[in-house]
């Protein structure tokens, strides 16, 4: 798979109940434009996990892909860290 201009994100798996699908929570921090405070914002992405290898709490890297279903537009690229390690 070519990763030329595909967006990648790191996040934590929060659900793996669906078959070949995980829900990944991605957290981003940024400076508020007016109040100059650091703000945390989270987003949840549904990602394709072909081998059902991800468990809850795993840190994973996801990459943009073609639409795989109604809500799945991301795919698990690698498991960075297994939960509990």
Q: What tens digit of pLDDT does each residue of 2-26 get?
A: 677 899 999 999 999 999 999 999 9
The torsion angles phi and psi of 31, rounded to 5 degrees, stand at -85, 130
Using an 8 Å Cβ cutoff, are 51 and 77 in contact?
Answer: no
60/29 Cα distance (integer angstroms): 18
Q: What is the pTM of this model?
A: 0.89
> E-assigned strands of the chain?
8-15, 21-31, 38-48, 59-64, 72-81
Tokens 């798979």 correspond to 1
The tens digit of pLDDT for each residue in 32-82 reads 999 999 999 999 999 999 999 999 999 999 999 999 999 999 999 999 999
| Total residues found in the chain within this entry | 85
Q: For residue 7, give the nearest of 67, 81, 74 by alpha carbon.
A: 74
CATH number for the domain running over 8-81: 2.40.50.140
Listed by start position, the domains of the chain span 8-81
């Amino acid at each position: 798979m070519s990763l030329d201009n595909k967006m990648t994100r790191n996040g934590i798996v929060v659900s793996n109940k669906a078959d070949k699908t995980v829900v990944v929570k991605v957290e981003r921090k940024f400076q508020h434009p007016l109040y100059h405070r650091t703000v945390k914002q989270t987003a949840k992405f549904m990602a394709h996990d072909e081998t059902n290898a991800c468990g809850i709490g795993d840190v994973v890297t996801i990459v943009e892909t073609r639409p795989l279903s109604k809500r799945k537009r991301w795919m698990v690229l690698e498991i960075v860290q297994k939960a509990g390690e």
